[in-house]
Structure 1
Amino acid sequence: MIIMMGTLLEKKAPANLPETEANIYEELQKSDLPHYYRSWQSLNFELLLRRNIIESAKELAKSGAEFTVFYNSKFNEQFWTKTYRGYRLKPFAKPSEAIEDIFKNGKKYGFECSTAIVIIYYYAVLKSINPSAFNQLFQNLLVWDWSYDEDLRIITKVGTEFIPGDVLYFHNPDFLHPVWIGENAVYLGRNQYFGHGIGIRTKEEMIKALNTLRKPNAKKSAYLLSQYSRLDFDYLSRFA
């Protein structure tokens, strides 16, 4: 349910919303958990940013970026320097241009699924706020695994109230190789998920794919955890 300044909003999305944002609005309304907003501006920003997370995931799926472990990873050396902790933005490189390059020149990049999620988040935020504000917020980027700037503000909670634009986790307890212990995936809505290395799949197809990556004689199926991660939309709306 959507509550704004103490008032429960109508279940039907406003007529002026684009289709994806209207779908997100309706999913927020279907939720048993209350979603509180200070104003229409803060609600509209969340709808926009969630839409951009979904679109960014789809763009990464088409970018040509490879799935690989850190040892074999690669980032465009024009913008990034490899360190023992991850890839650091080069001095004088603009964060906005470096993040955009991952989607423009995907074949120059290779990383695993958690890094992909952070990259998707950065790109979605970039598309949702002024580039100058983005460059000010994220001046010293270090990208790998779940390393991210404190201003990105990723929040993880227990529950199954998934909203399109949330990031979920498919756990694979009988994994063959540690890299396939699970898959971080963006929930695109309507039983569609994007996980880097597997692609855009339904929940059932995602589990089936992970089950092919288990150790011999595995007995435990992969499954979707009852948790979700999302950005601090209210905080980021201040920079819109």
Structure 2
Amino acid sequence: MIQINNRYVTFPQLESQMMLSEFERNILLQMINSQAIYSYSSMNELNFELQMRQNITEAAKLLNNSDASFATFRYSRANPRYWSTESNGALRLLPGVKPSVAINDIFINGSEYGFECATGMVIVLYKAVMQSLGEERFNYLFQNLYLWAWQYDKDLNLITTRRFDYFPGDILYFDNPDVDPSTPQWQGENVVYMGNGLYFGHGVGIKPREGMIEELNSFRYPGSMRSAFLLEQATRPDYKKLYQYTLMYSPQYM
């Protein structure tokens, strides 16, 4: 169900007032049919979330098509023009480098980068935020980027909740409880839900649910009878908070 300014709205009402892509239309239908209540202050705020969800899936496709490789923290690497690689495997933005330039470089010169799947999810989200807010606002808000697992800037403000419904653009997690101790990096896989039953995981690619589970199951310890599975939870950026930044004309007003 969807509320706009504390009033429930129907799909025909929304469709008649919004210019929707097929991707956005499908999400809107899922939200309307959900038992959960999705509340927005305005049509524009709802539209921002829909567009950013599309930007998240597009960023996931770009990362999948880049040459950025999967690497454990020990073997993390990055383009030294923009990032320093720290002893714990974190990537820290170099002084004087624009955040937008450094994030875009991951997608352009991916062969110079290696990182694990949680870092990949945060990179995808930063790229989507940049596309949604524009480079000027992005550079103002995310000046001290630090890429390491689920470390992220406070303005991204990720929210993880237990739930049964999720939509394209959500970050989900496949758990592998019986992972072989010799390959602990495969204890699970963070993924972007792409829609149409497909998921993107850095290092695994874009696969249906069965493909993700099969990949993780290949790293179970011998004799295991427990399969990998998709957790009933979703991680999302704070769309409402990010939308507020679109109301600022310029970073000088922030």
Q: TM-score range by the shorter chain?
A: over 0.9
SS in 2 for 1:228: strand
Q: Is 1:65 matched with 2:78?
A: no
Q: Which moved more, 1:35-44 or 1:64-73?
A: 64-73
**Distance in 2 between residues matched to 1:81 and 1:95, nearest whole Å:** 13
Structure 1 letter corresponding to 2:222: P
| 2:92 aligned residue | 88
In the alignment, what sits opposite 1:166?
170
Give the equivalent residue in structure 2 for 1:14.
Answer: 15
Q: Compute the displacement of 1:130 (Å).
A: 2.3
The aligned counterpart of 1:41 is 44
The runs of 4+ residues in structure 1 deviating greater than 3 Å are none
Q: Aligned equivalents of 1:62 and 1:9: distance in 2? A: 38
Using the TM superposition, give the Cα deviation of residue 11 of structure 1 relative to its aligned residue in structure 2, in angstroms.
2.2
2:227 match: 221
**Conserved in 1, the CA contact under 8 Å of 2:199 and 2:209?**
yes
**In the aligned structure 1, how far is the partner of 2:2 from the partner of 2:105?**
36
Stretches of structure 1 that go unaligned for 5 or more consecutive residues are none
Question: 1:10 corresponds to which letter in structure 2?
Answer: T
Partner in structure 1 of residue 82 of structure 2: 79
Q: Does 2:179 match 1:175?
A: yes
| Structure 2 gap ranges (5+) | 247-254
Residue identity in the other structure for 2:9: L
Distance in 2, matches of 1:58 and 1:31, equals 27
**Alignment-mate amino acid for residue 8 of structure 1:** Y
SS of the residue corresponding to residue 121 of structure 2 reads helix
Task: Give the Cα separation in 1 of the matches to 2:31 and 2:67.
Answer: 33
CA distance in 2, matches of 1:96, 1:237: 19
Paired residue for 1:123? 127
Name the amino acid aligned to 1:136.
Y
TM-score scaled by length of structure 1: 0.97
What is the TM-score of this pair, normalised by structure 2?
A: 0.92
Q: Distance in 1 between matches of 2:185 and 2:122?
A: 17
Which residue pairs with 2:214 in the alignment?
208
Q: Is the 8 A contact 1:130 1:239 kept in 2?
A: no
- TM-superposed CA distance for 1:95, in Å, is 0.2
**Secondary structure at 1:188 match in 2:** strand
- The letter of the residue matching 1:53 is I
Cα deviation for residue 18 of structure 1 reads 1.3
Counterpart secondary structure, 2:138: helix
Measure the CA separation in 1 of the matches of 2:100 and 2:245: 15
- Segment drifting more, 3-12 vs 175-184: 3-12
What is the match of residue 52 of structure 1? 55
Q: Deviations over 1:52-91 (max 9, x none)?
A: 0011111111011101101112111110001234111000
Which position in structure 2 is the counterpart of 1:197?
Answer: 203
Q: Secondary structure at the match of 1:204?
A: helix
Superposed displacement of residue 9, structure 1:
1.7
| RMSD of Structure 2 on Structure 1 (CA) | 1.1
Q: When the two structures are aligned, how many residues end up with a matched partner?
A: 240
Larger mean CA deviation between 58-67 and 1-10 belongs to 1-10
The equivalent residue for 1:234 is 240
